[in-house]
Structures are given as C-alpha cells and as structure tokens.
Structure 1
Amino acid sequence: MMSKTDFIRHSLELNLFFARIMKEHLVFVASAFTPKNYNLIQPANELKDSLDNLLVETVMLSNGVISPEAIASGEIITQFTLNAELATQYYTGIAIDTRITQAEASLVGSSHIIHNPMLEQRVYALNQKAIGITTAVAQLKETVLRDVLACRMFTHNYPLLADHILREARFYLKMLHKLQRFDETDTAIELIEQEIFWNRIMAEHSKFIRGFLDPTEEELMEIANNFAKEFDVLTEMALKTMDSHRDLSKITEESFEATQEIRKFKAQGTEGILQCKIKSIILPLLGDHTLREANHYMRLLKMFRHQAC
C-alpha cells in the first residue's frame, strides 16, 4: 500500500510528465492531418486546451512537493523545450502555451513533505480529471489509427507512430488507475513490464528518427538504426526474462547504458534541428519530446537499480 505522501508526490510527477506528453501528441497529430480531415483539428485542439489546464493546476500543486530528482531529471522540461515550442508554433501555426514551460522552469523540489489531507484530496481529483481527459485523447488516437489502417484517412505520420502514441496514452491511464488505488509498482513482474514498455518506446523513437531524417543524413540514419536494433534486442531480452523469471539486473544495467547513449543522441539531434544544422522533417518539439521520454526512463532505471540492491 502506497503512503499518502508518496501518492501525492508520484501523482504530481506522473501528471507533470505525461500530461505534457499527451498534449504534444495532439500537436503532432493535428500538424499531420490533410485539409480533408480539418474537422479533427478542433477536437484535438480542445483536448490540448484541457491538458494545458490540467498542467497549470498540476504545476500549482507541485511546487515544493515533487522530488528534486524529478526536477533535475529533465523529464518535465529540458534546456530546449521553450525554444522547441516556439519553433514548432512558428512552423505549424498551432498555438502552444509557453507560459506553462516558464512556470515549470521555476518549480522547486523537496526531499521531505508533510501529509496534507486537503492536498491529497485535490491530487486525487486531479488524477480523476486526468483519467477523463486522457480517455478522450486515447479515443481520438484510436479513431485516427483505425481509419489510417483501413485506408479511410491519410496522415503524414506513420501508422506505427499512431499506435505508439496510443500505447503511451493507455500506459498513462494504467498508471493513474494504480495511483488511485494506492498501489505500488514494486513487484519484479511490474518492473519487467515497465522495462519492456520503455525499451520498445526507445526502439520506436529510433525508427521514427531514422525515417524522418533527410535521405542525405546517412550517418545519422545509421546511428538511429543501430539504436533501434539495440533496443529491439533489449526488449526481447526483457520479454524472455518475464517468461523465465530470471534476474532482471543485467538487462536493467544494459538498458541504463543504452538509454544514456540515446539520450545524448537525442539531445544533440534536438539542438541540431533547432540550429537548422540537421536536414529532416522532424518538428523541433518532437525532438525535445523524445529526449524527455529518455530522461524519464533514465530516472526509472536509476530507481530500478536501487531497488535491485
């Protein structure tokens, strides 16, 4: 059973990370629609606005409550996020509320918090709100994926990307429901499941980067391809570990090392895109988005390593 203070902290950290991820998915989805599917841009924008409001409330509740490790991890924002938002807004014409990013840059963490019943109630209500919004986001993503696979819709995103972002929405919902039950993620099976999930995400990021690079960027394409192969292997190894119940520590260590390297690659890539030094069709915010997911996974892996000791 999760303690009440852990419930508050884990909830706020989860929403700070994933609510931003969800709203950015909507930017990527809306920017890839053709004029024929203009009718889907409005619901995407309305959901994005709802997630903005959720983030504003989360930021307000988080100051002095979330852990210093979450702030330092780079999973909430990075040094590139604000400029990536401004550039993406310029390229797409989609409004992005950069005031949230500026507020997040001022967040202060605390190593110790005292239980506050009123804050607990507000966080519980926040999670319920997040569940409602994310359920609607998942439904929109399901519609897009279903229509793309049935050749009823064309979008400039890969079908795999549509599936990828849908899985992330479902994962967010799963974690929110666990928090609302005060369940802890501490069993070996749950840790393996998270490594399987995030190693697959890292592999797919590499494949998207490879596919979105200009064909002349052969060196970067090769690096991305090598990361894709490495994380595919790590995903398979984690799957086999779940079947055999063998020690996960070796795979955790290898995943940690691989994620450190891909994080550097993503940071360099995001900076290169912002400086117009890399030829691609990668939105600057997509580069920063994948970097933050690598940063989040790095923090999880550090916790997994600690639990294994």
Structure 2
Amino acid sequence: MSNAFVMRSLDEIRFWSRIMKEHSLFLKLGFRCEDTQLIAEANQFYAVFEEIERRSHAFTVTADPELIKRFNTEVHNAASHIWAFKRKVLGLVLSCQLPGANNFPLLIDHTSREAFYFRNRLEELNTGRLEPLPDAIIDENVFFLRIMADHAKFIGHLLDPSERQLVEQARNFSNDFDQLLFQARDLESMRPQSQTVPLLDQFLDQNRVSVKSLRDFKKTAKDLIEACRIKSIIHPLLADHVFREAERFLFIIDMFENNLVRESSG
C-alpha cells in the first residue's frame, strides 16, 4: 500500500464517479413522464455519485491507504448497484415494457459496461491484482475501442438526419472503430504469442491516431452544439461527456506507451 495506490484510486474515482453521475441524468432524461419510480432511482444515483465525487476531491495523495481502501469498497458497492439498475432498465426496454422511452438499448448496455469496468478496477486496486502490462494493453484497448465505436453510433443517431455531412462522418468513425475493435480482438485471441513489444507498440500507435481524430470530431460537435449551430437532440453535457472519455483513452494509451518503452529498455 503506497502513494501510488492512493493516487490511482482517487484518479479512477474522480473520473468515473462523474461519469456515473452523468449516466444517471442521461437515463432520467430518456424515461417517460409516467416512469416516476425509475426517475426517482436515477435521481438517487445522481446524488450518490455526486457525493462520492465531492468526497474524492477532499482526499489528497498523502491520505492513509487504509482509508482509501475503505472508500474504494464503498464506491465499489455504489458502482455495483448502478450496474444492476442499468441492467434492470435494459431488461425493461428489451421486453417492450417502456414503449416510447428514449434510451437506446445499446446506450443502456454501454453505460452498464462502464459501471462494471469501474467496479472491477476498484476491486483490482484493493486486492492488488492489477494485470501485467501486456494483458492490460490489450484488454483496455478492447474495452475502450468498443466504447468509442458506440459513441460514434450514438452521435450519428442523435444528430438531426438533415445534418447529412456530420451523420456521414459519425458513420465513418463507427466503421473505423469497429475495424480497430476486430483487430484488437484478433490480437487478444493470439496472446500470449501476440504480446511482443513491436506489435503492442504498433497497436497503440495505430489506435492513438484514430482516437485523436475522433476526439477532435467530438470537440467540434461539442462546440457546435453548445453554440446552437447544428441541429440535434444531443444534450450539451452528453457531447462533453463523450469528449472526456476520448481524452481518457488517449491518456491511457500514452501511459501504456511510456510503460512499454520503460520495460523494454529496462
């Protein structure tokens, strides 16, 4: 248990608790007026993760690791509960019990995958069972490439159909990230033989180029939406939300790249 454990835990909680809080809002906005129970549950989760986010910023890197470990357990519990809520909502939508609601099934599934990722990361940190670097590189990229592919699909579907050029760009990004995801899964199924430094390095380089392009597209879309310059039903916060997740992926790719260089030269 060390400063690194505290820093990593707080970084994950600060980022993902905000994401979970915003998921609660987006789900709520997609419910129908009569779904009062689901709206109340979403509001409750919003409050829970807003408080977690607030408390995470009250800690510093010098915090007692045991205290952070307990905080991780508490947040893990909250993430498990919001995951269960999202899966419940997905079940209701897929069994046609919420006709007219505006949350895509894939969007609900997408948010549940992020909750599951978050709870698993906290579990790994608390048990000290973080993956070896070659496995982490492949697994994180498989996870985030799918997230990015989903984002492109959501943007394409939530833009007004008359925004033909932007819809086409979103569709192209969706296809690009689907292909990158297939490549990542090929590398995944070829491991451990595929986990050479040159292959992993090229894998990260290729993904970085595409993520930067998508990040820039999201930034443009976000700015246009905030300035009311394009037609869409995208909430400005959702535009910012998907932009931040692309930034997060780039941060992770750069971190992996630095660690790979360090390990190969060491």
Q: Tell me if both proteins adopt one fold, taking TM over 0.5 as the criterion.
A: yes
Match of 1:138 among 66, 75, 83: 83
Match of 2:121 among 145, 170, 175: 175
* Distance in 2 between residues matched to 1:241 and 1:175, nearest whole Å: 22
Match of 1:274 among 215, 222, 226: 226
Deviation at 1:192, TM superposition (A): 0.3
Query: Which residue does 2:33 correspond to in 1?
Result: 35
Letter of the 2:161 counterpart: P
Is 1:226 aligned to residue 224 of structure 2? no
* Distance in 2 between residues matched to 1:263 and 1:18, nearest whole Å: 18
Contact 1:54 1:126 in 2 (8 A): no
Cα deviation 1:243-270 (Å, max 9, x = unaligned):
1132222221111011111111111111
* Distance in 1 between residues matched to 2:7 and 2:253, nearest whole Å: 18
Contact 1:22 1:51 in 2 (8 A): yes
Is 1:253 aligned to residue 205 of structure 2? yes
Deviation at 1:4, TM superposition (A): 1.5
Contact 1:185 1:191 in 2 (8 A): no
For structure 2, the residue ranges without an aligned partner over 5 or more in a row are 262-266
* Distance in 2 between residues matched to 1:16 and 1:136, nearest whole Å: 18
- The DSSP-based 3-state class of the residue aligned with 1:31 is helix
* Distance in 1 between residues matched to 2:81 and 2:26, nearest whole Å: 17
Cα deviation 1:92-117 (Å, max 9, x = unaligned):
xxxxxxxxxxxxxxxxxxxxxxxx4x
- The DSSP-based 3-state class of the residue aligned with 1:228 is helix
* Distance in 1 between residues matched to 2:30 and 2:64, nearest whole Å: 39
For structure 1, the residue ranges without an aligned partner over 5 or more in a row are 66-115
Q: Percent identity?
A: 31
Letter of the 1:280 counterpart: S
Deviation at 1:124, TM superposition (A): 1.2
Is 1:151 aligned to residue 96 of structure 2? yes
Alpha carbon RMSD of aligned pairs, Å?
1.2
Query: Which residue does 2:264 correspond to in 1?
Result: none
* Distance in 2 between residues matched to 1:38 and 1:161, nearest whole Å: 21
* Distance in 2 between residues matched to 1:143 and 1:159, nearest whole Å: 11
Cα deviation 1:265-302 (Å, max 9, x = unaligned):
11111111110001101000000000000010000000
Match of 1:25 among 19, 23, 26: 23
* Distance in 1 between residues matched to 2:14 and 2:219, nearest whole Å: 20
Alignment length (residue pairs):
254
Match of 1:44 among 42, 45, 48: 42
Deviation at 1:48, TM superposition (A): 1.0
The normalised TM-score by structure 1 is 0.80
Contact 1:234 1:251 in 2 (8 A): no
Deviation at 1:304, TM superposition (A): 1.4
Is 1:125 aligned to residue 77 of structure 2? no
Query: Which residue does 1:184 correspond to in 2?
Result: 130
Cα deviation 1:60-101 (Å, max 9, x = unaligned):
114xx3xxxxxxxxxxxxxxxxxxxxxxxxxxxxxxxxxxxx
Query: Which residue does 1:202 correspond to in 2?
Result: 148
